[in-house]
Structure 1
Amino acid sequence: MGRARWTIEVDRRRCIGNQMCVNVAGDHFVLDQGKSRPVANPVAPSDDVLEAVELCPHSAITVRDESGGLVEPS
């Protein structure tokens, strides 16, 4: 059986580019033209990614599991 994988989505219309996600999960997020975007997809589950979701002031980050089910925000 394979390991769980997540897909990270960033709504660039909602993102204000404050870099909180990059600061707490720099392996998973980068700023691109002043807005956040995921570095790669899919990714292994990570507490850093969950923290980035919690810290995003405009709730621009969504994390989904392999079936497309919502992981965060819950």
Structure 2
Amino acid sequence: MTRRIERAMTLPRRGDLSVTEVCFAVGFSSPDTFSTRFTELVGVPPGGYRRDHSQTGTGIPSCLAEQVTRPVKNQGARAR
């Protein structure tokens, strides 16, 4: 699930796909489920993320952009 959401986070930056298209591209069959899971892991709904990050990563290699924007599953956990 986390990998699907990570992939979904990279697609809106291109700006050519709608949220629904991203949902199906990463393997979800329901836009509602996609939106719920995305919001749980990322902290903002996919539409808001797309709006805020559509140009993020311009000029940055995709491998670095993915690493920097990777969602943190359990943000309340203490670091070890």
With normalisation by structure 1, the TM-score equals 0.32
Q: Which has the larger radius of gyration?
A: 2
Larger strand share, 1 or 2: 1
Larger helix share, 1 or 2: 2
Bigger relative contact order, structure 1 or 2, given CA contacts below 8 A and separation 6+? 1
